């Protein structure tokens, strides 16, 4: 996660909190918690009592589908980027921060009740087409009016499934997908 993307993520999260958008915070695809740590620090600095949920398989990436095929190369294979739940918790302890509510599952195994009833902010960093579609199917119906979903790896040539998933999911919805670098920002407006 580079500094510019992190600044955008935190700026959008801060807006949701300061504008009192209803709902909790979710991150789908947390790996070892780099972004999670920054999210927690911001929540704590704003004295927010919102629940923060982090989701990951902790088994690495799933297998790619045809939508993930890239002429830019064959980086990011199934099983790569494996981290344990213990790694995530250890990183929070080392930073002296309270860990999020951690959910261990593949995103296609999650049920709607595994997520908060109302979501104000969602960060999706699940790399591949199917994982992003599964995440959006879970998050979008629960996203509060005025809430935001941020999808990482948008317009990234090595991970074309991210762009395809965002474009496919929002094709028939009355929303505009904005992007800053490799982040897609989608706002739910009334």
pLDDT digits (tens), the chain, 190 positions: 899 999 999 999 999 999 999 999 999 999 999 999 999 999 999 999 999 999 999 998 888 889 998 876 667 777 778 899 999 999 999 999 999 999 999 999 999 999 999 999 999 999 999 999 999 999 999 999 999 999 999 999 889 999 999 999 999 999 999 999 999 999 998 5
Strand-pairing partners, residue 24, are: 119
Q: Tokens in use for 103?
A: 């959910």
Question: What pLDDT does 68 receive?
Answer: 92
Q: What is the CA radius of gyration of the chain?
A: 15
Closest CA to 27 of 99, 86, 113, 96: 99
- pTM comes to 0.95
pLDDT at residue number 81: 81
**CA–CA gap between residue 89 and residue 97 (Å, rounded):** 9
Q: Which residues of 107-146 are buried (b: 16+ CB within 10 A; e: fewer)?
A: beebeeeebbeebbbbbbbbbbbbbbbbbbebbbebbbeb
Query: What is residue 37's predicted lDDT score, i.e. its pLDDT?
Result: 98
Q: What are phi and psi of 57, to 5 degrees?
A: -75, -25
Sequence-distant (6+) residues with CB within 8 A of 89 are 99, 102
- Phi and psi at 118, nearest 5°, equal -130, 130
- Domains belonging to the chain, first-starting first, are 3-187 (3.40.50.150)
Separation between Cα atoms, residue 119 and residue 96, nearest integer Å: 26
């Amino acid at each position: 996660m580079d500094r510019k993307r992190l600044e955008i993520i935190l700026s959008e999260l801060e807006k949701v909190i300061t504008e009192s958008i209803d709902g909790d915070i979710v991150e789908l695809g947390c790996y070892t918690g780099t972004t999670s740590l920054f999210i927690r620090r911001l929540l704590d600095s704003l004295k927010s009592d919102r629940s923060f949920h982090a989701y990951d398989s902790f088994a690495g990436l799933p297998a790619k589908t045809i939508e993930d095929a890239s002429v830019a190369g064959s980086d990011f294979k199934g099983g790569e980027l494996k981290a344990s739940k213990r790694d995530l918790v250890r990183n929070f302890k080392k930073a002296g921060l309270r860990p999020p509510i951690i959910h261990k599952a593949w995103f296609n195994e999650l049920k709607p009740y595994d997520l908060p009833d109302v979501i104000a902010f969602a960060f999706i960093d699940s790399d591949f087409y199917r994982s992003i579609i599964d995440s959006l199917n879970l998050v979008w119906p629960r996203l509060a009016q005025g809430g935001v979903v941020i999808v990482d790896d948008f317009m990234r040539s090595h991970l074309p499934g991210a762009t395809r998933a965002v474009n496919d999911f929002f094709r028939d919805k009355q929303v505009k997908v904005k992007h800053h670098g490799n982040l897609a920002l989608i706002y739910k407006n009334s």
